[in-house]
Structure 1
């Protein structure tokens, strides 16, 4: 990965001039990782991450002063201040009945522009612009609440085994934070409510098998020292960290897709970061490359 020394720089990407500012600003104080190094990481893995972002509205989580500074979410782009070549899509907000202009990142120029805004992590929708009410994936987020990570691993395998019994193909990645994300591809065949119902069914079934170490209750006090099996993120407008996204955590960890045999007691979230992830990708490629061509029949299962 390139180490950036310039304070500012201008890159020509996709025929567009992208101005990158404050490249020496420290984003990870303890590790002395700069904004420029973050941008270099994203550009180095662009061919791997962009297919997972293509045509998906993005919620921008901005950290203009690094992981220890103030952060904020931005959904609605200020189009007057946004370069004309940055693509956006208007989505009607139910609460205000006004259009929200979401950023769409389909190329390196937009990726660099977005990260330069302070977007350490990249959070796409589960659905795409051409079919915004129908997600491509059903998500189950395993979030440990003061419990050893080995129980997250155990829960993930129980979920996979249960899905295998239903002849459902699933994929898993590290969250880059504390847990694991399980993806069930459905290729926009169902609405969000159907996906959420299916994820809830799986979560409750596995919780019955692992009642001492898992919970499906959102209230933190009631899931203390348990793995929370979160299925409620399957709603329109909800986002989850993309595959290969950096997370604003110590060590600059990356949300990394894994083969199921890699999900074992030797796994640590910190195993993957902005300094070693490119090497893994060069060696293994995108092990999720087939996820967009995989589709599961949820209704067949639910009828059973």
Structure 2
């Protein structure tokens, strides 16, 4: 048995970050170690800091690798935290508060990687105003019978609709079969308003391609279509950030791409080994994402129009309290009133 590698100390963004058990295997199928994960995040530093900067962030931790125990850390530990680590207080749908990690620089990302964080899930808000999102996140989610190619096609329709109202959209692979589309917005609306804007967007995309896209929350109504998951904009719902690893066998990465690239790539093109080289060569396709925040008023006007036409709110995720104006959380086939 080879001797256990000792801990090392690495300077990151002016802070000393300790890396313990660097040779512990995190991705058994590929042989990637904790050191590989740590060094991966350093290699895409500008990109992941752009994605996480000043955002409350939930850590998906795998202290013994992806085949071991997994848990979501929504509160910064109470012990062993360096004095320079920054936090932001958020509130869950229940109203309970939590102090989450709020990365100010790459050292925060490295420190989280030392804790066994593989996946970073950032809130769509900034520390200065945690109740008003500054980012639309459109989760283009293939359903059974559809695949990544269908998600790419649906994302193209999302882009077309957004461009029609003056919004610049930025795509990335999810690291799985889906596509994420991001739009920076003015932080002037709360989670309820921003979620309603995404519902209106999803319905408009569905109107243009009803054969391809669905906005139906209930799985039994979706069919073999791509779902626009509007509930990813509900409070405390997050998706893997740009440049985050995903906890799968191949160690894929949720990777920003250009729209031209999106039509040509496959999810497995981007992993722990390939993305650092790509990042060094082409940089971050999302580098200009903060340049022109979008005013979501046109989407809210669509939402108001839909309300007048009898298309109101949609069900919230099960862990949310019942919201004003929300329809029943009963799937249609089990809704006795609807059957009557």
TM-score > 0.5, shorter chain as reference? yes
Q: What is the alpha-carbon distance in structure 1 between the residues aligned to residue 77 and residue 299 of structure 2?
A: 44
Secondary structure of the 1:257 match is coil
Give 1:38 shift.
0.7
The structure having more radius of gyration, on CA atoms, is 2
Residue 268 (structure 1) aligned with residue 266 (structure 2): yes
Q: 1:47 to 1:166 in 2, by over 3 A?
A: closer
Do the aligned partners of 1:192 and 1:236 also contact (CA within 8 Å) in 2? Answer: yes
Contact 2:197 / 2:299 at 8 angstroms: preserved in 1?
Answer: no
2:290 maps to 1:292: yes
Change (3 A) 1:190 1:293: farther
Q: What TM-score does the superposition give when structure 1 sets the normalisation length?
A: 0.91
* 1:168 counterpart SS class: coil
Q: How does 1:1-304 map to 2 (within 5 A)?
A: 6-93=5-92, 95=94, 97=96, 99-146=97-144, 147-264=146-263, 266-300=264-298, 302-303=300-301
Q: Distance in 2 between matches of 1:223 and 1:67?
A: 31
Over 3 Å counting, the alpha-carbon distance change for 1:197 and 1:113 in structure 2 is same
- Structure 2: 5+ residue stretches without partners: 303-340
Provide runs of 4+ in structure 1 moved above 4 Å. none
Q: Provide the residue aligned with 2:311 in structure 1.
A: none
1:6–1:24 CA contact under 8 A, matched in 2: yes
Q: Is the 8 A contact 1:187 1:294 kept in 2?
A: no
Structure with greater proportional strand content = 1
Are the equivalent residues in 2 in contact too, given 1:187–1:292 (CA < 8 A)? Answer: no
Aligned-pair CA distance for 1:95: 2.4
Question: TM-score with structure 2 length normalisation?
Answer: 0.82
Q: Give the superposition deviation at 1:94.
A: 5.2
Q: Distance in 1 between matches of 2:257 and 2:92?
A: 35
Q: Matches of 1:250 and 1:117 in 2, distance apart?
A: 20
Distance 1:15 1:298, change over 3 A: closer
Give the direction of change, closer, same or farther, for the CA distance of 1:32–1:19 in structure 2 (3 Å limit).
same
Task: State the alpha-carbon separation in 1 of the partners of residues 125 and 143 from structure 2.
Answer: 29
Tell me by how many angstroms 1:300 deviates: 4.1
Q: What root-mean-square deviation, in Å, do the aligned CA atoms of Structure 1 and Structure 2 show?
A: 2.0
User: What is the deviation of 1:246?
Assistant: 0.9
